[in-house]
Chain A
Amino acid sequence: MSLLEIDGVVAGYGRGPDILRGVDLTVEEGEVQCIIGPNGAGKSTLLKTIAGLLRPRKGRVVFQGEVLNGLRPDQIIRRGIAFLPQERSLFPDMTVLENLRMGGYALEDKSLMSERIEEAFAQFPILKERYKQKARTLSGGQQQMLVMGRALVLRPHLVMLDEPSLGLAPQIVAQLFEIVRGFKDQGMTVLMVEQNARQGLNCADRGCVLDLGQRVFDGPADGILDDPRIQELYLGTQKKAETS
């Protein structure tokens, strides 16, 4: 049994059209999986649906054998799935430390909180230096560190990251993918969406291509990197499916 199984999921916003048009996907325990695909393919929509921010119209999301359909986001995170959305979801008027404490909001055993925060500080010393500062005063790279640090406080079973490298300077991007590998080494499973397809796949064990609301390919990450058709369609001079 896979850790996460997505079966024929159809989803969309409000009364709008179906954005996901029957997605099938599996995530195995302990892997880093990277989803790539053109803009507007529905990658973010898929992660939001798994996280419970959107309800599937059809199909099933199954995590560790439990159907998650219809659960609220705060219930899903307590099942062990954390979601780091594309827009850096910080609390701008809270301090760095308070933001980290919010990361542990869903922690069942609160006595772990301070230990986990220390661990996050150890991994991101810059956060320790700035622990009293409001999150809004951090640079883009530091804000992303804070979001990652917050995930470390919870130690979820599965971490979903939506375009973590977006808007970061190249040298920070390399560092970021190392951190993502670090999540795996610390026993977490990772499902990541990346526009930065080559680097994302390089960091991943397995890859998957999403286009027009459907999975069009999946396999080992290096296989995808080497596949000439995928290179042409999705990795080359980033073709974009136009969205209006």
Chain B
Amino acid sequence: MIADLPQIIVTGLALGGLYALMASGLTLIFGVMRIVNLAHPAFIFISAYITWKLFTDLSIDPLVALAVTMPVMFVFGMIVYKLFFAREADNPRYIEITVLTTFALALIIEGVLGFIFKGTVRSTNPPYSQQAFFIGDIFLSRAQLYAGLIGIGLIAFLWVILQYTRIGYAIRATTQNRSAAQVVGVNVERTSMIAFGLGVAMAGAAGSLFSFVFTFFPGGHWEWLAILLALIVLGGMGSLPGAVIGAYLLTIASVFVNDQIGFKWGPMTFFLALFIVLMVRPQGLFGSKIEAT
């Protein structure tokens, strides 16, 4: 048997929570608005750079920076929605418009980040980013553990909002049947704006955690886009539990590939999974075929 299996699973579980958090906003935004937000990893990078700036200039811990990046990105998301997507819902070319708009946004963000922060590879290094636990001979990075636990905690928080609050009901209703939501009195435009904000706030939280787990440079978001798309396509686009399970499955799989086949091949796991899922079960594990509206 594979001697490293416990190690692979522990690392995969720790990282999986962060991957799931990165994917959660993407799947939420797709579910409610049918927008494939190609700029989602770029949003994560904005937050990572804000966190880096707070850390290097003001010595603010990235975990504390969450309290800044989440609300800032929430508002930023709502503004982006208002500027680019509000009132496009009835446009017959909605898909093309949203794909091109989010693509352009990603490029612009990349350019602005490059201009402000230069092309240097960055990361934050709070004390715990260098520390680890040992359980027997299993190694567990503190950075990964913190990121994974906070990631899954924030997803649980998002899930509670969706399940039990008034705005949560409105968001789920709009996701499942937009016109029905309208006729029971949901303001779908406002709901979409808030959902977009929530999704981008999740990207904001993910960026702060990302900053001490991974490294980043302005153009690095494209690779993450492919990875995140693989996660939510596997889970079923629009499904939050799907994104979480997709994240854990693929993270463990990629750690396994890293370990057994070679470091270069880890990312390929995601792309291969994306390809296979699209061929075999395009609606993913938890996705239902999109309702006609």
B183 partner residues in chain A, CB cutoff 8 A: 51, 53, 73, 77, 82-85, 89
Within 8 A of A (CB), among B206-226: none
**A213 within 8 A of partner (CB):** no
**A92 within 8 A of partner (CB):** yes
A53 partner residues in chain B, CB cutoff 8 A: 179, 182-183
Nearest A residue to B178 by beta-carbon distance?
A: A89
Q: Chain B's interface: helix, strand, loop or mixed, by majority? A: helix
Nearest B residue to A135 by beta-carbon distance?
A: B176
Q: Are A78 and B185 touching (Cβ within 8 A)?
A: yes
**B180 within 8 A of partner (CB):** yes
Question: Interface 1/0s, chain A 9-20, versus B by CB < 8 A?
Answer: 000001000000
Nearest B residue to A84 by beta-carbon distance?
A: B183
Which bucket holds chain B's interface residue count? 20 to 34
Partner of B184, one of A14, A72, A77: A77
**B56 within 8 A of partner (CB):** no
With A73-B185, A77-B184, A78-B185 as given contacts, are A105 and B179 in contact (CB-CB < 8 Å)?
no
Chain A binder among B95-103, B165-173, B254-262:
B165-173
**A91 within 8 A of partner (CB):** yes
Q: A69 to chain B: closest CB distance in Å?
A: 17
Q: Are B170 and A105 touching (Cβ within 8 A)?
A: yes
Q: A80 to chain B: closest CB distance in Å?
A: 11
Q: Are B177 and A89 touching (Cβ within 8 A)?
A: yes
B59 partner residues in chain A, CB cutoff 8 A: none
Question: Interface 1/0s, chain B 180-209, versus A by CB < 8 A?
Answer: 111111111100000000000000000000
CB<8 Å pairs between A and B, sample of 14: A14-B90, A72-B189, A73-B185, A77-B184, A83-B183, A89-B177, A89-B179, A89-B180, A91-B173, A94-B176, A102-B169, A102-B173, A105-B169, A154-B184
Name 6 extra pairs, CB < 8 A, besides A72-B189, A105-B173. Answer: A51-B183, A73-B182, A73-B185, A85-B180, A89-B180, A92-B176
A residues whose Cβ falls under 8 Å from a Cβ of B: 14, 51, 53, 72-74, 77-78, 82-85, 87, 89-94, 98, 101-103, 105-106, 150, 154
B residues whose Cβ falls under 8 Å from a Cβ of A: 90, 92, 166, 169-170, 172-173, 176-177, 179-189, 288, 291
